[in-house]
């Protein structure tokens, strides 16, 4: 059985607020969400801004890239270079961390993030 | 049928080697060993290391269980007293009677003690066994002046032992007119003597000792010329005497001056009795080194098991370190004109003497002597033994190549023939070692295990290393040093590619030479290359910059940043200090003096960075690049302007250097220092480059660093004027920037550099690559394109916009950042 979760699309920022092939942080209530403009791939991603390794609000300032044959997109925390999959939120540096990911959609030059309602 | 019995008399190095070789080739024999000493066979070659801290166990050649493991019966402390050749039996001191099928005499030698009146006195020792060493050690506690009789190889070893034991006045007495008369010539001896004198060893040549005086214990030596030398102890090392008394008693043929006569099969006059090692006399010669002894052991083993091998003399070439001085003698060291031509190099300043003898037609190397520097020994010996045709300038063999690159051609280790003997102790050829490398054995330890090469005297280890590297390289088996999964190039290769193709952005570089989407390894590496090449404003490509470079500040705990303005040479005015204080107060920053003589302001919010820098820039500050892989600081002492010891104005020079190289990006951070005198208050020798004032100018040191593996900088050039120093520094830095791997400090870069410091000197000082002018030009263009990165940001609304924590609420600071008080300031709470 499939569960359908209601998603509310929240406008986060304008596309040109986020640097190409980089990230920036938006505030949604008390939440901090990192948005990544992976322009090289023409893709957008969003994750929590908190790096679970040392509890720092910094993932949006990390470098993004890809790894492996499948070119899995990832972000590296600027503190200790722990890397996380932008698709699944799984820690790719061999540790038991998991970050939250959000769906992203682009409309009329605006970035929307899907938040569970 | 029972196994034939082999009895080995003597458990020294050669006796042990006989057993080792026999059990490795056959298990069909019953082996019994008798040793006079109470210990297992030990390494007598390195005996003097016993005084330098090695234990008897360290020197032992095998584990205690080795004999039992190999079914060898060992009787220690039980010398054989008598041989009955007719009955083929031996009789031991403890009363054992055993039959033998073969008897191997490896009785070695004893120290030759000349017949001098008083030689029996207390305080007179020989230098032969661990027991001798223990006696010397105990006696030395109460001795101040010691002498060694005999200036040969062992005598000088003994002199070192006396120094190690804390004897404050050490003498060496030699009967001959020179030291080590068997190995080196008069000029070499003079050089060695001068070096030993510096180390506090007094050498007396041409001295014939008449008697040893003193009441029951030694008090002085009296010489034939009626002079005397007061001493507290004497070590006699006047040569060896073969232990042939047992053989004599058994009626075996011995030489008139000692030694058991053997044929080329190591058989004595009784074919079932062999003699090997220092007790054996082959063609009227005693071979007093371990390598020929091992060879004899091998020959005797071959005879016993019925294979063909014979002994035909042995190369007595030798290389050793005497009291820290390299001494080597190889081939025919003493042949003189007109039988040959000699090339001699002598440097009394450094204490180096080198002599090579070449054939009259200039084609072959015949032999030579090396004192003070013997790195070339292995290759020279190979050149002699393999009759390798000499290069057109044979002097290059001892002087090294001076310009031109041809000198090494034909003399490299890989050019040796396959049967070249690399390890003479274990008789291992080049082919055997290369074969092992080809089979996957690529470390020195591995080669030692599978071929035994290098396990004897260890002298061939450098050659083995070269062979491993050479063979691997020849197989195309070297590990390519690539940046990461996205770029199949080393940093140096990529640097050149980016330059030639004039690529100016990361994406272009990735499109041309990479694959995938990049990562946190290649992005900053390429960013550094782009910056070192084009010196553009780095925040224009902010998302490829490493954590600190992205926001031109050092990210700290809690996600705040620290701010470090440049304070060139550590010199700062009161007004500027006040500004720093005011800014820190206004933005609530924690302040601390850094190790690089500047002031760090911690705890700045991302949003505040442009505001803080605006104020600092207004007050005349510039970016300090504390966040970048770039020049950090040039630390200085106060120098001659204030210091009463200062020779030159170190602060002015430090400022000049720091201003010159500020902002230049490199593979890693670069730190410098300038000291005004040798007291070195600026700690310049711990920096990537260090400058120290001398009476005549400045000394330039390079490639030092602190960090987890501190390393002192090494002297690149001395007594330079400022202009030359800057020129060398330009070349050095640019060469580093162009060729180092990512995140490699200058020290590691140099450590990995083939040819090391002398290569670097050649490139920087002698311009051996012919790139000096190019390096100077390249760094000049970086110097000319300097800009303060923070000024660029402060003046650009577009760039300033990026310094916000929330892109949708730019005014708001990160609410998760918290501070708590500490000693009247604050610290990050997290």
Tell me whether residues B555 and A58 touch, CB distance under 8 A. Answer: yes
Over range B603-607, report the average pLDDT. Answer: 92
Chain A residues in contact with B816 by the CB 8 A cut-off are 32, 57
For B715, the 3-state DSSP assignment is strand
Range(s) of the domain holding residue A60: 7-116
In chain B, what is the greatest distance between 2 CA atoms, to the nearest angstrom?
A: 110
8 Å CB contact between B701 and B711 = no
How far separated are the first and last CA of chain A, in Å rounded?
A: 20
Digit-coded pLDDT (tens) for B269-326: 999 999 999 999 999 889 888 888 999 999 999 999 988 888 888 878 888 777 778 8
Digit-coded pLDDT (tens) for B150-203: 998 888 888 988 888 889 899 999 988 999 988 899 999 999 998 888 888 999
Q: Is A39 on the interface with B (CB under 8 A)?
A: no
Interface test with chain A among B516, B543, B609, by most A beta carbons within 10 Å:
B543
In chain A, what is the greatest distance between 2 CA atoms, to the nearest angstrom?
A: 41
Q: How confident is the model at residue B830 (pLDDT cuts 50, 70, 90)?
A: low
For B132, the 3-state DSSP assignment is helix
A20, closest residue in chain B (CA to CA): B543
Facing A19 at nearest CB: one of B547, B802, B805: B802
Chain A residues in contact with B814 by the CB 8 A cut-off are 32, 57
Q: Is pLDDT of A2 > 60?
A: no
Tell me whether residues B547 and A78 touch, CB distance under 8 A. Answer: yes
**CATH, residue A50:** 2.102.10.10
Q: Is A65 on the interface with B (CB under 8 A)?
A: yes
Tell me whether residues B550 and A76 touch, CB distance under 8 A. Answer: no
8 Å CB contact between B454 and B447 = yes
- Global ipTM: 0.88
How far away is chain A from the Cα of B501, in angstroms, using its nearest Cα? 21
**Token reading at B140:** 């030395």
Give the DSSP per-residue string, B502-525: T--SHHHHHHHHB-TT--TTHHHH
Give the DSSP per-residue string, B439-470: TT--SHHHHHHHH-TTSSS-TTHHHHHHHHHH
Does residue A1 belong to any structural domain of this protein?
Answer: no
Q: Is B807 on the interface with A (CB under 8 A)?
A: yes
Interface test with chain A among B507, B518, B519, by most A beta carbons within 10 Å:
B519
Starting at the earlier edge strand, list the strands of the sheet with B72-75.
B72-75, B30-34, B5-9, B102-105, B273-275
**Token reading at B28:** 């069909």
Domain regions of chain B by residue span: 5-109+242-305, 113-238, 554-784
Digit-coded pLDDT (tens) for A28-72: 888 899 999 999 999 999 999 999 988 889 999 999 999 888 889
Assess if CATH 3.50.50.60 describes domain B5-109+242-305.
yes
Facing B543 at nearest CB: one of A22, A25, A56: A22
CA A31 remoteness from chain centre: 13
8 Å CB contact between B185 and B208 = no
**Alpha-carbon distance A36 to A23, whole Å?**
4
Chain A residues in contact with B559 by the CB 8 A cut-off are 56-58
Does residue A26 belong to any structural domain of this protein?
Answer: yes
Q: Is B547 on the interface with A (CB under 8 A)?
A: yes
Q: Is pLDDT of B243 > 50?
A: yes
Does residue A102 belong to any structural domain of this protein?
Answer: yes
Helix axes B522-534, B506-513, angle to 10 degrees: 110
Facing B543 at nearest CB: one of A21, A25, A41: A21
How far away is chain A from the Cα of B392, in angstroms, using its nearest Cα? 54
Does residue A83 belong to any structural domain of this protein?
Answer: yes
8 Å CB contact between B800 and B610 = yes
Residue bearing the bigger pLDDT, B39 or B584: B584
Instruction: Kindly report the CATH number that applies to the domain delimited by B113-238.
Output: 3.50.50.60
Number of neighbouring beta carbons within 10 Å of residue B44: 18
The CATH number fitting domain B554-784, selected from 3.30.497.10, 3.30.413.10, 3.30.70.420, 3.20.20.150: 3.30.413.10
Number of domains in chain A: 1
Tell me whether residues A41 and B517 touch, CB distance under 8 A. Answer: yes
pLDDT at B405: 39
8 Å CB contact between B438 and B475 = yes
Burial of A90 (0-12, 13-18, 19+ CB in 10 A): middle
Starting at the earlier edge strand, list the strands of the sheet with B285-286.
B260-262, B280-282, B285-286
Facing B517 at nearest CB: one of A23, A25, A73: A73
Instruction: Say whether pTM exceeds 0.80.
Output: no
8 Å CB contact between B65 and B74 = no
**Alpha-carbon distance A44 to A23, whole Å?**
10
Number of neighbouring beta carbons within 10 Å of residue B294: 25
Residues 6+ apart with CB under 8 A from B327: B180, B183, B184, B188, B192, B319, B320, B321, B370, B371, B374
**Token reading at B614:** 């605006």
Q: Is A17 on the interface with B (CB under 8 A)?
A: yes
Over range B359-368, report the average pLDDT. Answer: 90
Tell me whether residues A20 and B543 touch, CB distance under 8 A. Answer: yes
A43, closest residue in chain B (CA to CA): B517
**Token reading at B812:** 């708001």
């Amino acid at each position: 059985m499939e569960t359908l979760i209601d998603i509310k699309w929240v406008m986060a920022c304008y596309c040109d607020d986020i640097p190409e092939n980089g990230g920036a942080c938006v505030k949604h209530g008390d939440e901090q969400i990192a948005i990544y403009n992976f322009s090289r791939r023409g893709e957008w991603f969003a994750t929590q801004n908190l790096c679970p390794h040392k509890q720092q609000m910094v993932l949006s300032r990390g470098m993004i890239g890809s790894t492996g044959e499948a070119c899995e997109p990832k972000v590296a925390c600027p503190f200790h270079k722990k890397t996380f999959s932008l698709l699944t939120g799984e820690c790719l540096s061999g540790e038991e961390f998991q970050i939250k990911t959000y769906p992203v959609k682009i409309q009329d030059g605006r970035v929307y993030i899907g938040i569970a309602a | 049928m029972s196994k034939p019995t082999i009895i080995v008399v003597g458990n020294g190095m050669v006796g042990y080697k006989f057993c080792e070789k026999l059990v490795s080739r056959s298990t069909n024999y019953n082996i019994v060993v008798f040793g006079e000493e109470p210990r297992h066979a030990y390494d007598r070659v390195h005996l003097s290391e016993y005084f330098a801290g090695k234990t008897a166990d360290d020197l032992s050649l095998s584990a205690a269980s080795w004999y039992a493991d190999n079914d060898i019966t060992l009787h220690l402390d039980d010398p054989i007293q008598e041989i009955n050749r007719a009955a083929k039996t031996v009789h031991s001191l403890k009363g054992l009677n055993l039959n033998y099928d073969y008897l191997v005499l490896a009785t070695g030698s004893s120290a030759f003690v000349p017949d001098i009146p008083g030689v029996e006195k207390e305080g007179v020792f020989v230098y032969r066994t661990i027991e001798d060493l223990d006696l010397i050690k105990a006696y030395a506690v109460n001795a101040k002046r010691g002498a060694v009789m005999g200036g040969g190889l062992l005598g000088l070893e003994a002199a070192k032992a006396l120094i190690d034991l804390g004897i404050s006045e050490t003498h060496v007495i030699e009967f001959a007119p020179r030291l080590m008369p068997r190995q080196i010539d008069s000029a070499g001896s003079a050089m060695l003597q001068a070096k030993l004198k510096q180390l506090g060893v007094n050498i007396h040549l041409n001295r014939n000792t008449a008697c040893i005086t003193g009441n029951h214990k030694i008090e002085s030596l009296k010489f034939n010329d009626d002079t005397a030398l007061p001493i507290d102890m004497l070590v006699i090392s006047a040569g060896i005497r073969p232990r042939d008394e047992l053989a004599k008693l058994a009626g075996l043929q011995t030489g008139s001056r000692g030694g058991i006569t053997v044929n080329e099969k190591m058989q004595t006059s009784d074919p079932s009795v062999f003699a090997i090692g220092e007790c054996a006399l082959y063609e009227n010669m005693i071979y007093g080194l371990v390598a020929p002894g091992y060879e004899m052991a091998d020959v005797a083993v071959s005879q016993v098991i019925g294979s063909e091998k014979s002994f035909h003399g042995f190369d007595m070439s030798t290389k050793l370190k005497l009291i820290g001085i390299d001494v080597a003698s190889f081939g025919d060291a003493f042949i003189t004109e007109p039988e040959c031509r000699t090339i001699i190099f002598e440097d009394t300043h450094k204490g180096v003497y080198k002599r090579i003898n070449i054939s009259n037609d200039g084609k072959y190397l015949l032999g030579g002597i090396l004192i003070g520097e013997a790195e070339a020994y292995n290759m020279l010996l190979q050149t002699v033994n393999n009759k390798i045709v000499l290069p057109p300038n044979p002097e290059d063999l001892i002087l090294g190549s001076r310009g031109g690159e041809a000198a090494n051609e034909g003399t490299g280790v890989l050019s040796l023939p396959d049967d070249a003997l690399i390890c003479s102790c274990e008789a291992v050829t080049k082919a055997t070692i290369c074969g092992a490398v080809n089979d996957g054995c690529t470390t020195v330890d591995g080669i030692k295990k599978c071929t035994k090469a290098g396990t004897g005297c260890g002298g061939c280890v450098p050659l083995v290393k070269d062979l491993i590297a050479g063979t691997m390289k020849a197989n195309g088996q070297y590990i390519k040093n690539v940046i990461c999964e996205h770029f199949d190039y080393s940093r140096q290769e990529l640097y050149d590619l980016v330059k030639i193709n004039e690529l100016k952005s990361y994406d272009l570089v990735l499109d041309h030479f990479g694959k995938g989407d990049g990562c946190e390894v290649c992005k900053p590496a390429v960013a550094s290359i782009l910056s070192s090449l084009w010196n553009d404003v780095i925040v224009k490509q902010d998302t490829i910059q490493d954590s600190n470079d992205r926001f031109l500040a050092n990210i700290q705990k809690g996600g705040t940043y620290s701010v470090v303005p440049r304070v060139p040479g550590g010199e700062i005015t009161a007004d500027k200090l006040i500004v720093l204080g005011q800014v820190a107060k206004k933005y609530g920053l924690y302040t601390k003096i850094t190790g690089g003589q500047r002031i760090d302001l911690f705890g700045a919010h991302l949003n505040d960075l442009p505001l803080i820098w605006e104020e600092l820039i207004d007050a005349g500050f510039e970016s300090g690049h504390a966040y970048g892989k770039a020049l950090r600081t040039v630390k200085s002492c106060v120098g001659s302007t204030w210091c009463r010891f200062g020779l030159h104005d170190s602060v002015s020079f430090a400022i000049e250097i720091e201003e010159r190289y500020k902002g230049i990006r490199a593979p890693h951070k670069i730190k410098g220092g300038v000291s005004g005198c040798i007291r070195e208050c600026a700690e310049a020798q711990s920096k990537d480059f260090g400058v120290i004032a001398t009476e005549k100018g400045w000394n330039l040191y390079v490639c030092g660093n602190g960090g987890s593996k501190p390393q002192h900088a090494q002297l690149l050039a001395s007594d330079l004027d400022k202009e030359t120093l800057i020129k060398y520094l330009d070349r050095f830095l640019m060469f580093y920037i162009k060729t180092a791997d990512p995140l490699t400090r200058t020290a590691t870069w140099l450590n990995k550099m083939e040819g090391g410091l002398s290569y670097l000197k050649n490139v920087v000082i002698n311009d051996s690559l012919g790139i000096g002018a190019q390096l100077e030009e390249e760094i000049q263009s970086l110097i000319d394109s300097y800009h303060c990165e923070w000024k660029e940001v402060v003046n650009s609304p577009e760039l300033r916009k990026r310094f916000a924590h929330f892109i949708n609420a730019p005014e708001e600071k990160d609410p998760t950042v918290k501070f708590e008080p500490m000693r009247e300031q604050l610290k990050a709470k997290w």
